Homo-oligomer: A and B are copies of this chain.
Amino acid sequence: MAETNVNNGVNVGALLAAREALKGAPQAAKFTWRASCKWQNGTHSETKVQGFHGLGQEQKHKTEFSFSADHPEVFASEDLGATPVEYVLVGLASCLTAGVAAVAQNRGVQLRSVEAKLEGKMDLQGILGIDSDVRNGYDDIKVTFNIDADAPKQEIEAIVAQSQKRSAVFDIVANPTNITVEVV
């Protein structure tokens, strides 16, 4: 396998070194991710992301990222941002896609293009309180990858499966995650 010529832009060597380092320092592997949201008006909010904690100390992104969220006009809102449920799809898409690049790099597979289309089905009878048997969230999310890479389809499928197996957002959405909501 001509692994030496493969470059998907992922520094797998650094990740493998981090894994070895964290094996001996499990406390450093404990991360806290943060977001700070301010209501604007109606269903419109702005959420900022910059600081996080990990490797035993405070960290921050190079820049602050800011995200507008809103509901669309069909819900009598101003449509000033993506909906909250679309942000979940953004997180899932980007997590699986980053994983595909990392796993492909680790397996010596050169990627040429990776595209993912996501669809989440939701019955609004849940959030509108019409039918208490209908859940509020997605009934089902479908992710369809279209990948052009220097590998047979079976190997590409195995890369996607491994990305899914190690994906943080896949796990958060597919499995129950404890959430505590407080008012101060």
Which A residues are within 8 Å of any B CB, using their own CB? Answer: 8-11, 14-15, 18-19, 22-23, 26, 29-39, 41-45, 47, 49, 52, 54-55, 59, 61-62, 65, 67, 69-77, 79, 81-98, 100-102, 111, 113-131, 135-147, 153, 156-157, 160-161, 164, 166-184
Additional pairs, 14, CB under 8 Å, beyond known A38-B114, A52-B72: A18-B75, A30-B123, A30-B124, A31-B124, A49-B90, A54-B124, A67-B94, A69-B95, A87-B169, A136-B170, A137-B169, A138-B168, A144-B182, A176-B176
Which of chain B's residues has its CB closest to A84's CB? B95
Tell me, rounded to whole Å, the shortest Cβ–Cβ distance linking A80 to chain B.
9
**A62 contacts B79, CB within 8 Å?**
yes
Copies in the complex: 2
Chain B residues closer than 8 Å to A86, beta-carbon distance: 33-35, 49, 52, 65, 91
Chain B residues closer than 8 Å to A73, beta-carbon distance: 62
